[in-house]
Amino acid sequence: MKDCLFCQMASGSRQALTVHEDDATIVFLDHRPLFPGHCLVAPRAHFETLPDLPSDLVAPLFTTAQLVARAVEEGMQAQGTFVAINNKVSQSVPHLHIHVVPRNKKDGLRGFFWPRQPYEDDAAAKRAQEAIAAAVRRLRA
């Protein structure tokens, strides 16, 4: 898509601080990082969300994310990484991308997670389990 910022980066028509590229993916630094070294892993082709991604591109995308998680730890001398995907809600660019963020103990990352919402009882948890399992069966059929 010509108006998509990440498609422009993937095509080379817009500059990015690229850290890795291959036939299926592009990886670049987030311009508003949580911490220095915060990378975005995106498919070169335009897909808005993870459910939109064709199954044959899942392995290349996540193989690159795995590589970048290792590289961010090593390159940024981080103790670990936080890896996340937003689908629609909180997705500032409507092009699928995986955040790989360097993390260290006591790094001060707060407010990124929402309060946990426990199930009101075991029956409510069971209803959620059954609803999602039924949706998986329908989607796989």
CATH of the domain at 16: 3.30.428.10
Q: Which of 38, 95, 97, 99 is catalytic?
A: 97
97 catalytically annotated: yes
Residue 121: inside a domain: no
> Which tens digits make up the pLDDT trace of 113-134?
655 668 799 998 878 787 777 7
Residue 36 contacts by C-beta under 8 Å, 6 or more apart in sequence? 76, 102
Residue 119: inside a domain: no
Single pTM value for the model = 0.85
Residue 123: inside a domain: no
Q: How confident is the model at residue 95 (pLDDT cuts 50, 70, 90)?
A: very high
Q: Which spans in the chain are helix H?
A: 5-11, 55-75, 122-140
> Which tens digits make up the pLDDT trace of 62-88?
999 999 999 998 899 899 999 999 999
Residue 17: inside a domain: yes
- Residue 15: CA count within 13 A, CB half-sphere: 2
Residue 117: inside a domain: no
Query: What are the φ and ψ backbone dihedral angles of 38, each rounded to 5 degrees?
Result: -60, 115
Query: How many domains does the chain divide into?
Result: 1
For residue 62, the enclosing domain spans 5-112
Which pLDDT score, from 0 to 100, does residue 113 have?
Answer: 61
Residue 93: inside a domain: yes
